[in-house]
Structure 1
């Protein structure tokens, strides 16, 4: 493995201060939740790190510690593909709503990024548009209007967005001319500058220094033109080791979400290298076969359509154009005979070091010799000249700059048929294609051995191409990887392959460049499945022969079951009491927590008429009838929803709780509207969480261990770069031999968090054996039941009342601790968790729910000597006290010596 160089962690004072605020229990602004005027008006839901970035910015504007510092210039350092533009779109709404900003200047470095951003933020007909068609805040329709200059008289409910290259804006400031904006125009009304790809706005090389410094000066001029102006910069690339850049940004970096964290959180594809000594023509053919195999595999195995794109990367335009011609000829002259000959030739030179994925593709075609004529016909159609983009030109401006912009920026669209891109320029900033699965580096220049600069550029290309493609699976999209790393599914549907030339110095430089970026990659070599077997000794025990593991049964729910809102958990009989939140507080009125410290309060009834309810139901999309009908199948109209049969809103009184110091009888219409909306939002959450076509029951079924605990096979992912990431990642998977009798398998293919859990339980087996004759830890690896549909029953589902929407699908906790003595048997579900804890909190809630609702559990065989229990997530170093909880369940006390542990 390549040893990664140690990168010194330089202090970032602003980032550290805000992180401390975020973690502090005494932060007076609490944990800001992303306001609903953002979530309701954007197409994409913020991921946890985007929520955090917004929260960090909020703190920088409102926290007491920054009151006299005017934090007006910040930088968000976030990985390529992590959704910086989504965050910008959300920040625009936040700054408009919370601080009254109407003018936003969006600066970019290239026309390609500019065109993409215009689509993202202003073009409602674009598939990349980030807002919902109708933006509504507080019942008012908000317009986003693209302008060349900010108007002197500004309209209400309007956000003005000027999108321009930094070159154009700087030129306008330094060279005054008609219809351009000078410094005084940026002083008239407060504005926010959004600087995308901000690393371009700092001087770096002599040849660029003069131009770039003028950009910096222009941006600084605009920022300082008005004391209320704000500058928000965004970049994935910031060279903090450069002394000048560090000095500029050390107290401006507000939030960081780095590439290695992005990959660790599974928001990217896996990355594999295919290193080949083949000719370019053979490499082209292999890429074609692999790409078509991806498309066919997704369709045949998972019933989903993906359109995998290939990029052929050359060093010179002339060579790229020649390769384009050769590719067209290759496809045009392809026959069944030539395809068979190619497969035979690849078979003859095959070795154990060859690509596993290519071997899968070759085997696929060899197994379909009777259908090769149809396959050849499909290849000719899918990769015809009309489906190829040649993105080359003589400029150095990037592949989005000249021609083909629309085609290149919409490659995921079903109406876009392009499958192949030929280019010399790398994937430029702004090209966010997701369905790129193969990049083929052609060996077109014998002198081009891959300098450090060249290979760093190619490593960045791989990093951009690794963005995850959210294909449909079982009717649902996911924006994170869904399969185990190195599984067959993942190799084909969740991996980008970089087909490289097999030249030693080039490969060395490329691997070093990938490692310097801390981008985990590995050579795609044949990686055999490892066997994990049930121990023979365990098969001799009574637990194996007669033991059972328990999961709860599910039932279908008919539409006519939902004949009242009580079935969803909504109270429609009693009066409603809503706490009042002062508009002077720096929180959204939709915040669910009361931030007033009320020592004396009283309830005031709210008077309202039907107009209020119609306005709320019109602006909350949940209450649009088509959506309401989805959750309430028996509903006939929105009017009926408000009536006695459902919400019964007119026969109940709605009170607001206000402090004694406030005259609650003088609430204005806007305040009433906000208070009522809070109630309707809460009801919508209850309805959504209460509705399901299938739900768990309190009836637990026992499944014989000997039928459901089986041998299985699994791969260990291989990486040779990103070593710093791999060494520090608690999710890195390895194989461990486990000889102790308490563990039912001979080995475990697990990550570091799971290994630590096993070790800590192992330390306490002897203490458990003082009470239990049988103590076994069972790894419930999903791989062990993929071959058997019946084992899909082994999932834990929410039961009873009070569950949330996310839990309805059920999940399989990773471990079961099986404890049995002569009197009773305890089954403890354990789920280790090293990441995405907030997103999967519902799983821990379900595990805790089992303990709190033990009385609701019944068993199909009416036994009374079984206990089903759950514990909190096990995190690294047992941060949630899971081991202590296991002791309290199993022994009625903490394990001995646990008090001195972490």
Structure 2
């Protein structure tokens, strides 16, 4: 497969080879919405695409590629970047198509509506120095060739417009001389000609669609069109040999749900089975949802969790509905009425019934309500308000479809108050939602069937669809808290008892039906949504170590993070914001107002008067202090309070304007006519000043670090930092899920914890220490190694970025008169983090190694004790050296020199 070939290239050329390719297109990245930071795997996808287009020797024409990326992984952002890239290559005309109309509406908002929170582009798109617009068009005749022109269409409508005589028809011949880029979302629907597993009607429809798309792709006589397919459901498995054959030279990147989950970008999916009547199960979900909301409120996190109630019938069957509840048939509209009745009649007695259900999460919820002084009466009132009829949405009814689509696509918005959604199958595909935390399966059926050979039972269509819906709901809902600044990834995998863990979990509620849950789990594991199994481990400090003086009286030294108030900035140069007035890019061009007249019916060039252009130098402050002040006031970061955060030593706005070290020392070259230079208009002066200030503040803002790590390390008692046992929940497929069974933790007294689970690199480090212990004992009286399961963090000196070193090694020297305690930070790091030169110098983890190495020379400690000295050391990354043996040799050399010589 193509992606395997690219994987091999990455293994040979370095882990970041494709990500670096993405960074080589800064103009593309700069024109994406800065609110959506481009993740590492997205850079990987873009870099592979650029490499294929520009360097891959076996590139096919026309270009036809497929990106197999997990639901929720941001495929649409990749599409947006690809639009910009193709524009740079001279393409102006694009067709976006997919099977479902609701995806079309969502994507239009993403591409066209700057007011949408999910808009993917920068406020102003500038490519090659020219501002461009993105326009929806119905065809490509008479379009503006400076714009990005996009036809949005369902696949069926696109097929119809090309193949049936009607108004506004499109023809293949029209596309012969045009370069077109086709972008297919949910592209697995295009594989009809290579997939015969549909009904005859489905197969005919999809074969026709696929044929139309391929004819458009090949319509350009120069083979300059391109087709980019995006799907989470590529079916690139051995059981689909036809699909594998079709995409062997097209599938450029695979980033499936399993990788997405292991990278921490999904919620932790849990099932909750309660053997109770349907409306009691429904109320359990509502209570857990309200618990989640109150936890978020406690920590000042803006979060409105949504519950989805999933029925299996839109309308009443012909045979009618039995008066007695039939768990196999639940009609959405009838359930909606029952739900509103449940909420309107809700009382404290109903909550008391819920409080005695033996479920861990429900018990935590009621314990939380009690601790937060939320009475049952308060809870009843809140639920009645939050789940009132106007805050519930039914998607199966055809009434107000456009308004419903807007609400569905903006569920995360603060002004969207929807808390409950009633649905059957409409949301199984194409629904982007982050704050769905509970899915309640209202019916109780199974769809498992036997394979043709009759030996193996297989999950049925309904279960597969339910698993796909869970995959949509499993997208992580972003939030930051304290020093957890990465909003989009899980934070508490290694802290399962943390109160905030509920904000990282999706609950799938069902009737108590072990056979069904087993069937569903098979699909979830196969799709990568949940691990095959999880390993729960409790990390404790050994009893013997707890009895030692080292535990009772020993210290660990840690630095802290402080806000950067710019106190070390005394000039533009300190903020790396100098303005080079000689640089061509920094010359300001005045409009010359040169005019040319031409007769359209006469050949030749027009007639005009040539004007003489000259360049003069101006000091910004000489334009007029009031001019500079006005230009400054127009800047988003031009207020004194904002300037003070960057330039911490300025005394006033006037000081910033006049002082030679700041704006007062800046010159700029201005290009224009001599007449203009002699009589600069006020508006031109304002434009010149704004041009300079905008550049200075943009650079200074980018260079400014919001925080910094202190160089003073303060003493904390070891027993206080490591006092709480840690419960880990490890994915069985995670590199960390390795227990060193042949490594006896009980007999190695230098290991302070009962066990350690880690990567192969960490295991290799432990064996290294085990071999070094004999030498260490000759020099040190105390030796203790502890695995840092997020017990403590240190902060990067430059930007305050938090870092959790994997290990800390404590040593107490026994040979000197003055007792010396060594505290050594160690971070094992695998080959997957190596750069193109097989070192860590240019890798994304390089800042951590730099920090470790800088600690020894840069730290101070706040504790001075008689006859006791403290020394802090950070070692270079420990690496097994399988790819680059010099890394292992370097670590061993530093270890020997620092600790054994």
Distance in 1 (alpha carbons) for counterparts of 2:616 and 2:155: 51
Distance in 2 (alpha carbons) for counterparts of 1:447 and 1:244: 27
Match of 1:600 in 2: none
Secondary structure of residue in 1 paired with 2:94? strand
Tell me the CA shift for residue 696 of structure 1. 2.9
Q: 1:892 to 1:523 in 2, by over 3 A?
A: closer
Alignment partner of 2:293 out of 292, 295, 300? 295
Alignment partner of 2:208 out of 214, 227, 231? 214
Q: 1:750 to 1:731 in 2, by over 3 A?
A: closer
Match of 1:309 in 2: 306
Distance in 1 (alpha carbons) for counterparts of 2:5 and 2:397: 45
Match of 1:631 in 2: 646
Match of 1:515 in 2: 525
Q: 1:751 to 1:64 in 2, by over 3 A?
A: closer
User: Are residue 768 (structure 1) and residue 776 (structure 2) matched?
Assistant: yes
Residue pair 1:61, 1:71 contacting (<8 A) in 2 also: no
Tell me the CA shift for residue 336 of structure 1. 1.8
Q: Which moved more, 1:34-43 or 1:851-860?
A: 851-860
Secondary structure of residue in 2 paired with 1:324? helix
Tell me the CA shift for residue 176 of structure 1. 3.6
Distance in 2 (alpha carbons) for counterparts of 1:400 and 1:870: 62
Alignment partner of 2:718 out of 670, 686, 705? 705
Alignment partner of 1:233 out of 229, 234, 239? 229
Alignment partner of 1:57 out of 44, 49, 55? 49
Match of 2:826 in 1: 830
Secondary structure of residue in 1 paired with 2:176? helix
Map 1:257-272; keep pairs closer than 5 Å. Answer: 257-272=255-270
Tell me the CA shift for residue 280 of structure 1. 0.7
Match of 1:172 in 2: 161
Map 1:38-77; keep pairs closer than 5 Å. Answer: 38-43=28-33, 44-63=36-55, 65-66=57-58, 69-70=60-61, 72-77=63-68
Q: 1:538 to 1:390 in 2, by over 3 A?
A: same
Secondary structure of residue in 2 paired with 1:514? helix
Secondary structure of residue in 1 paired with 2:499? helix
Distance in 1 (alpha carbons) for counterparts of 2:651 and 2:441: 59
Distance in 1 (alpha carbons) for counterparts of 2:47 and 2:380: 54
User: Are residue 731 (structure 1) and residue 736 (structure 2) matched?
Assistant: yes
User: Are residue 537 (structure 1) and residue 566 (structure 2) matched?
Assistant: no
Q: 1:40 to 1:638 in 2, by over 3 A?
A: farther
Match of 1:888 in 2: 893
Q: 1:287 to 1:28 in 2, by over 3 A?
A: closer
Match of 1:565 in 2: 572
Distance in 1 (alpha carbons) for counterparts of 2:853 and 2:446: 68
Q: 1:847 to 1:285 in 2, by over 3 A?
A: same
Alignment partner of 2:489 out of 474, 480, 493? 480
Distance in 1 (alpha carbons) for counterparts of 2:502 and 2:180: 47
Tell me the CA shift for residue 277 of structure 1. 1.7
Distance in 2 (alpha carbons) for counterparts of 1:447 and 1:233: 31
Map 1:770-789; keep pairs closer than 5 Å. Answer: 770-782=778-790, 784=791
Q: 1:372 to 1:153 in 2, by over 3 A?
A: closer
Q: Which moved more, 1:136-145 or 1:557-566?
A: 557-566
Match of 2:271 in 1: 273
Q: 1:709 to 1:735 in 2, by over 3 A?
A: farther
Tell me the CA shift for residue 324 of structure 1. 1.4
Map 1:415-430; keep pairs closer than 5 Å. Answer: 415-425=415-425, 427-430=427-430
Distance in 1 (alpha carbons) for counterparts of 2:4 and 2:775: 46
Distance in 2 (alpha carbons) for counterparts of 1:163 and 1:101: 17
User: Deviations 1:692-747 (Å, cap 9, x if unpaired)?
Assistant: 4x5334333343434x343322324277xxxxxx33x2034879883221111233
User: Deviations 1:403-422 (Å, cap 9, x if unpaired)?
Assistant: 62111111111111111111
Residue pair 1:850, 1:869 contacting (<8 A) in 2 also: yes
Residue pair 1:268, 1:480 contacting (<8 A) in 2 also: yes
Distance in 2 (alpha carbons) for counterparts of 1:873 and 1:421: 50
Tell me the CA shift for residue 160 of structure 1. 0.7
User: Are residue 499 (structure 1) and residue 509 (structure 2) matched?
Assistant: yes
Distance in 1 (alpha carbons) for counterparts of 2:18 and 2:757: 45
Match of 2:90 in 1: 100
Distance in 2 (alpha carbons) for counterparts of 1:175 and 1:641: 67
Map 1:739-888; keep pairs closer than 5 Å. Answer: 739=746, 740-748=748-756, 754-782=762-790, 784=791, 795-799=793-797, 803=798, 807-821=799-813, 822-823=815-816, 824-832=820-828, 844-852=846-854, 854-861=856-863, 866-874=870-878, 884-888=889-893
User: Deviations 1:24-80 (Å, cap 9, x if unpaired)?
Assistant: 27989974415332332222121111111111111111116246x436111111111
Distance in 1 (alpha carbons) for counterparts of 2:462 and 2:372: 41
Match of 1:664 in 2: none
Q: 1:114 to 1:557 in 2, by over 3 A?
A: closer
Structure 2 unaligned blocks of 5 or more: 317-329, 450-457, 586-613, 624-630, 670-690
Tell me the CA shift for residue 195 of structure 1. 0.9
Match of 1:359 in 2: 363
Structure 1 unaligned blocks of 5 or more: 1-11, 579-605, 654-676, 720-725, 785-793, 897-902
Tell me the CA shift for residue 445 of structure 1. 6.1
Alignment partner of 1:140 out of 130, 140, 163? 130
User: Deviations 1:355-406 (Å, cap 9, x if unpaired)?
Assistant: 4222212433566787211111001000111111112249xxxx99786211
Secondary structure of residue in 2 paired with 1:210? helix
Q: 1:652 to 1:381 in 2, by over 3 A?
A: closer
Alignment partner of 2:5 out of 16, 24, 49? 16
Match of 2:679 in 1: none
Tell me the CA shift for residue 154 of structure 1. 3.3
Tell me the CA shift for residue 870 of structure 1. 2.1
Distance in 2 (alpha carbons) for counterparts of 1:37 and 1:608: 30
Tell me the CA shift for residue 255 of structure 1. 1.2
Distance in 2 (alpha carbons) for counterparts of 1:697 and 1:851: 15
User: Deviations 1:147-174 (Å, cap 9, x if unpaired)?
Assistant: 0111346333x11111111111111111
Residue pair 1:198, 1:235 contacting (<8 A) in 2 also: yes
Distance in 2 (alpha carbons) for counterparts of 1:849 and 1:717: 29
Q: 1:330 to 1:190 in 2, by over 3 A?
A: same
Distance in 2 (alpha carbons) for counterparts of 1:29 and 1:51: 5
Match of 2:104 in 1: 114
The CA RMSD measured in Å over matched residues stands at 4.3
Secondary structure of residue in 2 paired with 1:543? helix
User: Are residue 127 (structure 1) and residue 123 (structure 2) matched?
Assistant: no
Distance in 1 (alpha carbons) for counterparts of 2:859 and 2:92: 56
Alignment partner of 2:170 out of 158, 181, 194? 181
Residue pair 2:564, 2:645 contacting (<8 A) in 1 also: no
Distance in 1 (alpha carbons) for counterparts of 2:75 and 2:83: 12
Residue pair 1:631, 1:688 contacting (<8 A) in 2 also: no
Secondary structure of residue in 2 paired with 1:764? helix
Q: 1:316 to 1:866 in 2, by over 3 A?
A: same
Tell me the CA shift for residue 137 of structure 1. 2.5
Distance in 2 (alpha carbons) for counterparts of 1:390 and 1:29: 43
Q: 1:255 to 1:430 in 2, by over 3 A?
A: same
Tell me the CA shift for residue 492 of structure 1. 1.0
Tell me the CA shift for residue 577 of structure 1. 12
Secondary structure of residue in 1 paired with 2:276? coil
Secondary structure of residue in 1 paired with 2:794? coil
Residue pair 1:775, 1:817 contacting (<8 A) in 2 also: yes
Distance in 1 (alpha carbons) for counterparts of 2:834 and 2:368: 39
TM-score if structure 2 supplies the norm length?
0.78
Q: Which moved more, 1:836-845 or 1:82-91?
A: 836-845
Map 1:575-594; keep pairs closer than 5 Å. Answer: none
Tell me the CA shift for residue 330 of structure 1. 0.9
Secondary structure of residue in 2 paired with 1:712? coil
Residue pair 1:331, 1:384 contacting (<8 A) in 2 also: yes
